[in-house]
Amino acid sequence: MNIRAAEEESAQEIHIPADIDWEMLDKSKFFFLGAALFSGVSATLYPVVLVKTRQQVAQAQISGIRTAFSIVKHEGFRALYRGFGTSLMGTIPARALYMAALEVTKSSVGSATVNFGIPEPTASAIANAVAGLSAAMAAQLVWTPVDVVSQRLMVQGTHPSCSSPCRYVNGIDAFRKIVKTDGPKGLYRGFGISILTYAPSNAMWWASYSVAQRLVWGGIACYFRKKDDESNDNGNSNNNNTIRPDSKTVMAVQGVSAAMAGGVSALITMPLDTIKTRLQVLDGEENGRRGPTIGQTVRNLIKEGGWLACYRGLGPRWASMSMSATTMITTYEFLKRLSAKNQESLV
């Protein structure tokens, strides 16, 4: 697609490879390659997620680096991947559901908004936001139970900072004990606040990503425009006003835009994520008592460290979301190009 990358008076136009919608994808290739690629991404980022989770359930503020060193020192390096098998088994179907909902919604809403006469940049941001919202809501049906089980395993350790009073052998054992104690609804503890956390976060992320891409491309166009003006002043006129970036430049822009969007989303939704993690991890298993409510969780956090306690784990989450967003979007766009039915039409 063509993007007017600077203000309207700019003579420069950026031509980037065409976007790939749902109808252009080979679905079997898309889901198979997606499962493999995103499993690798999850494995790379899992230790950061585990450290963030430990920070959120700790009774005192401890830095992410100290938490990571403490885990390795007292529990060994393998503890950084505690619960990973359970997380991975759930991530594959959740990712498939997420990607399907994202692409179907994006194509449908994008076409509808353009037909209503909405300008293309605004239509793209709206389509991305609605697609992110619907994809997050669909994926949470799978992700919430996986989160509950894997996070219980994450905070389980031999060090006193690990607060879970119940011991689990593995993911299956944790699943059985949670269902026995709380029933099936125990697997969906924090589901409501997960939706409140991830649905707006995803909508914000995809909309921010769309806007950030245009801003970055706009900056690049302005840079080339200045170079062109300097060439004209020196008598070296360039009649070619179309910039055709190579695939490496396109990936770099996508990565930078994703990191910007990820950082913004992490900052805004951090308190909700901390409350959600507390609800899912702090047990209702002792003496048959019920788990804490949202109000109790918020009061406990404020009692422990004021409103700043809601931002425990912000560093690892910021790093995780920015790295995850950058890795995810470059992997995702690469996956879509690999899975396109007609490769020749992408140039």
In tens, the pLDDT along 62-95 reads: 788 888 898 898 888 888 998 888 888 888 888 8
Averaged pLDDT of the chain:
79
Mean pLDDT along residues 96-117: 86
Give residue limits of the domains in the chain: 29-46+193-227+245-283+290-340, 83-188
More confident residue, 247 or 303: 303
In tens, the pLDDT along 285-331 reads: 443 456 677 888 888 888 888 888 888 888 888 887 888 788 878 88
* Residues of the chain above pLDDT 70, percent: 84
**pTM exceeding 0.75:** no
Q: Are 326 and 285 in contact (CB under 8 A)?
A: no
Does pLDDT of 51 surpass 50? yes
In tens, the pLDDT along 16-30 reads: 666 677 778 888 888
pLDDT of residue 17: 62
